[in-house]
Amino acid sequence: MRGFYIFDLPQFPFRILGSSIPELGGAIQGSSVLNPIFASVLIPLVLVALLLGQPQWKWFTIGSALGVAACLTVSAVLSPSVLWLGNGAIAQAFLLLNAGLCFGLAYLSAKAANSGVNHEYLG
């Protein structure tokens, strides 16, 4: 198997596993530039829409929305580089707006999830 070598293949699975949801769009190419589809409220919104009604998955969806919000906030402050938007004020505003939307989505989802809690088991 010595002659069978594909450049950068061994690192590909580790880049995917080590990336957050907003970084997944660039992890495939090995780029640090955020893809605006992955670095937005779209993926947490789809997760909430599909899984919030499932008791096993509702906290996963809320945690995912909070994680995306935190990642977008840090990216907006430290390195606001977004594909097609550049790395200036427009990219920073895009990231901060989507981070705020993710925080709001997580808040509303947690509020909806807590309203469905069965209080018999709480004590």
- Residue 86: beta bridge partners? 82
pLDDT level of residue 81 (50, 70, 90 thresholds) = confident
- H helix intervals, the chain: 12-17, 24-27, 42-51, 58-78, 89-115
| pTM attached to this predicted model | 0.79
Instruction: Say if 50 falls within a structural domain.
Output: yes
Q: Which domain holds residue 59?
A: 33-113
The count of domains in the chain is 1
What does the alpha-carbon distance between residue 69 and residue 119 come to, in Å, rounded to a whole number?
Answer: 30
What is each CA distance from 30 to 9, 11, 38, 63, in whole angstroms?
Answer: 11, 9, 15, 26
Instruction: Say if 91 falls within a structural domain.
Output: yes
Residue in the structure block whose two tokens are 């977008």: 72
Instruction: Say if 109 falls within a structural domain.
Output: yes
Confidence check: pLDDT of 53 > 90: no
